[in-house]
Every structure is written in C-alpha cells, then in structure tokens.
Amino acid sequence: MPRARLVLDAAFALAPVPRRLFGSFVEHMGRCVYTGIHEPGHPTADDAGFRGDVLELTRRLAPTVVRYPGGNFVSGYRWEDGIGPVADRPSRLDLAWRSREPNEVGLHEFDSWAREVDTEVMMAVNLGTRGLQEACDLLEYANHPGGTYWSDRRIANGSTDPFGYRLWCLGNEMDGPWQIGHKTAYEYGRLAAETGRAMRLVDPDIELVACGSSHAQMPTFGAWESEVLTQCYDTVDYVSLHVYYSEHDGDTDSYLASAVDMDGFIEAVIATADAVRARGRHTKTIDLSFDEWNVTRPSERGGDDLARQAPWALHPRLGESEYGIVDAVVVGTMLNSLLRHGDRVTVGCQAQLVNVLGLIRSEELGDAWLQTIAYPFEQMRRLARGSILQVVASSDHQDTARFGDVPVVDATATYDAETGTAAVFVANRSRTEAARLEVDCRGLPVGRLTAATVLAVPDGTPVDLTNRDRHDAIVPKPFHGAQLDQQILRADLPPLSWTVFELARPAA
Ligand code: AHR
C-alpha cells in the first residue's frame, strides 16, 4: 500500500487564497452560450431567456470570475453587434468555430446573467481583426459613467450604471497560428503595450492580462513570454497560461500525473516573467492568469472537425466531453497545482462553464447536470479559505511514461485563522491501491474533524461511468475512514479518489 505523510503548520502560510482563482469561462462557442446559459424556449427559462436550471447549477458552483466572450471567438468579434434591440442585430459568420453567430446574447445580456449569478466579468478585447480604437470604445461603453458617445449609448440601451469591469484580456492566444490575426511575439507585444496604455487612459483602474502561450508545447513557448513581456511589462498586470490535458493511447497513469506537468509550466512562466523583470530593472511583479484550463476527452478537443465538416450551423455540438472519475481526479490535482502556486497564479478559469468541455451539461429542451469535474472545483472554491499552507509532503511514487516518477498522493491545504478552520484536498492517483495517509496537524490549532467527503467509484464500477444517465452517479459522498487523534489525521484513501477533509478548533 502506498503511503504519504503531510505536515501542516499555520506558521508556513504561502499567501492568502486568491479570490479569483476559482473562475470559469463562457465563450460564444458550440453550445456554451446558446442552449447552454441561454435558451428562451426552455421550460426553465426566465424572461431574459436564461435557463433557470443552468443558473441554479452555476450559483451552486459560484465561480468568482467568468471570462467572456472568448477564446478564439473574440479574435473575430465585433462587440457592437451585441448591443441594441436584438431584432436589429446582425447574424455573422464566426470564423473561429465556423458557426453562425446570431448575436442574441451580447454585452447587456451577459452582464445581467453575471449579476444573476453574482460573479465578476473578465472581459476580452479583439486584438485579432481589430485593435486599439475598438478596445477603447468597448471600455468606454462598459466603464465610462456617461456624457460621451459610447457611454451614452450604453445608457440608451438600458444600463445607466457602468458595468465597471476591472479585469481585461488583451486578445486571446495570439501565439497560435490558428488564431484569427495571429501575430509574432514582437507584433503582439507592441500592440498589447499600446492598446493597454490607451485603455488605461480611458480607465486607470483596470487590470490587464497579456497573452502568454496557448500551451507549454508551443514551439515558441518561453521565447513568446519573454518577448511579449519585454514589450509590455510596465503596462500589464498578468500574463496568461492555457492548458487542456487528455489521456493519450490509453496511458491513464500519465494522464493522472498531468498536474506535475502543470506545476512545471507555471514555474517556467514565473521564471520567465521574473527574468524580464530583472533584465528591465522593473520593480513590479507580473502575476499569472491561468484563464483557460481543464481536461478533455481526446476526440473532443475543440470540436474543430465537426465545424469543418458542417460549417455555419447555429450552436453546433463542439467539444462536448463527458467526464468520469479519472477526469475528476486529474481536475482535483490541477486545482491543487493552482492553489500551491497561489502566491503568483491569482486568476484561474476552468474552461468552459457549460457544454464545451463543460463543468455543467445541458440538453436542448432537456435537463442540466453537473459533470464529475465540477465537484472538486465546487469544493475547493467553497472550502479554500484564509491562507494557502506550504504543505511539507512526502509520498510514495509511481512511474509514468510521460512524466517519470510522480507522487501517488497529491495534496494542498488552507487555514483560516479567523474561523479557526482548515481544509485539506487530497488525490490518490493509484488506480489499483488505497493509499495510507497521515496528516500531522500539530502546527494548527485544530482539534476536530468536522467533515470528510470522497469522490470515487465503488469497486467493479466501469471506469468510464459518467453522470449523464444518472446525474448523481459520481458525487462526493461522506468518507468514514478517517480519524483525528492527538492532532494526527489518519485515513486510507480509496484508489482513484479525491478526498476533502474539514478541520476546526477543538470544541469549547
Ligand atoms: O476553450 C476552447 C478554446 O480553446 C478557446 O477558444 C481557445 O482559446 C482555446 O484554444
């Protein structure tokens, strides 16, 4: 039986848990917007056409920030198409996804949906087919109080108060040859610098995200970040990272170790950003915005094939991955990777919210449910409070073809001094063996194990079971196999599982 030992101590706090780490992403792609969040003909739809069942599940997940409107979509998007009376809005070719965009949902609709679910909007501007002027116009429309052309148009369209968006992405994946308006690092870095500088003149309080690499396997990875940040370091606050992991050739063990690769990706981007900082004698530090991350079934990546074969459909099915327990465990470890780097990764968006690689699945005129991968997100978003702890961990290892020897058990923890509560998030990557865990909590003023849940499937369950047919087939269940004794927590973690422990001060 593999073993792991963790030591937790309140004195070793890394950083406050960043509020924006638990975000999501809504793109005009496939069925994320249309028949995802918005379906006027659905029995649960509200007066604005938003699906009530999806609203309810979104409120349950409670993403702290939602990136919008793309993604690759934004690089061909004219934001003005989505304002004014819906009947007057144009239908356009969406070149990114070879679909038809009806523009029934635009800025105002998305803003009211975001208010309904009480989340912050992270807005992206088009730096593919458009540039500085259109970005400033959009910012003026969204954030300027009134008395100017664009802000008065917003008021005329029904929003007297500015939207007040703080967080802005300067384009999307501009390093990718697939991107509409793809640029070299120098071209993009200059454009980001000038666009960002002008946007700050419109609204000095915004925070800006420069595009990093689309993933760490891009041939330009590293050189891209270095050149882009050299051009725009003083203007931007964040550099972005994106990654989607999937299982290749049935190699589940490597897939389960994806977060080891993610740790390396994050650390490489931190090193690159800090090298630019040193070289340029800058004083501020650039944070990381991991604004697209998730797992995907290999056949579903992007859904580009379908869009190529049957182009210009309205909301085609793109990227509709269905997830099982393995995917949920990988997502848990990816959340751990984000949390353990939470001193520098301060924005995170699990992509996408509905249907496209979705945490939520919805069927047209049918029901909506949470996929397995939504549960680790919901738990960590709700329970990671106060400070991130630097966990001293030792674990037995298992060998993988792609990532070498990796720890069988992966864990993070947080401690909230105000409430005296702690949370421990633990994955067991072994597909076959339970793992014996010991958590030394003597450095924390806790004396009670108040809750423990486990996400796993019983022995003999097919490993590809999903929540499609029985929406509660794989959900966190109470975990009875743990004891806290003399501030040492002991548990045998089931194979292929994600377990969450909640601890509190001793009873008075
Ligand atoms: O999330 C799906 C797509 O993946 C996004 O549009 C793009 O930015 C990424 O490549």
Same domain, 327 and 438: no
Domain ends where: 353, 383, 413?
383
Same domain, 297 and 443: no
What is the arithmetic mean of pLDDT over 187-204? 98
Whether the predicted pLDDT of 303 surpasses 60: no
Same domain, 323 and 448: no
For 227-282, what is each residue's pLDDT tens digit? Answer: 999 999 999 999 999 999 999 999 999 999 999 999 999 999 999 999 999 999 99
The domain spanning residue 345 has which CATH number?
3.20.20.80
Burial 26-59 (b: 16+ CB within 10 A, else e): bbbbbbbbbbbbbbeebeebeeebbbebbbebbe
CA of 71 to the centre of ligand 1 (A): 5
**% of the chain with per-residue pLDDT over 70:** 98
CA of 73 to the centre of ligand 1 (A): 8
Distance CA 313, CA 310 (A): 7
Whether the predicted pLDDT of 488 surpasses 70: yes
Predicted local confidence at residue 300, as pLDDT: 53
Query: In this predicted structure, which of 30-34, 93-97, 218-222, 301-305 has the lowest mean pLDDT?
Result: 301-305
Whether the predicted pLDDT of 135 surpasses 90: yes
Q: Domain limits at 459?
A: 3-10+387-504
| DSSP tag of 54 | H
Same domain, 374 and 418: no
Whether the predicted pLDDT of 309 surpasses 90: no
Domain ends where: 383, 417, 434?
383
**% of the chain with per-residue pLDDT over 90:** 95
| DSSP tag of 17 | P
What is the arithmetic mean of pLDDT over 439-454? 97
For 32-69, what is each residue's pLDDT tens digit? Answer: 999 999 999 999 999 999 999 999 999 999 999 999 99
Phi-psi region of 16 (alpha: psi -120 to 50; beta: other; left: phi over 0): beta
CA of 74 to the centre of ligand 1 (A): 10
Same domain, 342 and 420: no
Same domain, 398 and 253: no
Same domain, 46 and 165: yes
Same domain, 133 and 232: yes
Tell me the whole-structure pTM to 2 decimals.
0.97
Whether the predicted pLDDT of 327 surpasses 80: yes
Same domain, 391 and 464: yes
Distance CA 168, CA 184 (A): 21
Listed in sequence order, the residues at least 6 apart from 128 whose beta carbon sits closer than 8 Å to its beta carbon are: 74, 75, 76, 171, 172, 174, 179, 180, 181, 182
Distance CA 441, CA 443 (A): 5
Considering its fold, how many domains does the chain have in total?
A: 2
What is the arithmetic mean of pLDDT over 72-88? 98
- 379 within ligand 1 shell (Cβ under 6 A): no
Same domain, 341 and 455: no
Residue 136's SS3 state is helix
Predicted local confidence at residue 459, as pLDDT: 85
Predicted local confidence at residue 304, as pLDDT: 56
Domain ends where: 383, 406, 423?
383
Among 72, 99, 180, which residue has the most ligand 1 atoms within 8 Å of its CB, making it the best to mutate? Answer: 72
The domain spanning residue 406 has which CATH number?
2.60.40.1180
Among 28, 94, 172, which residue has the most ligand 1 atoms within 8 Å of its CB, making it the best to mutate? Answer: 172
What is the arithmetic mean of pLDDT over 70-90? 98
Same domain, 338 and 406: no
For the chain, state the CA radius of gyration: 23
Whether the predicted pLDDT of 128 surpasses 90: yes
Distance CA 222, CA 474 (A): 39
Same domain, 430 and 467: yes
Predicted local confidence at residue 301, as pLDDT: 47
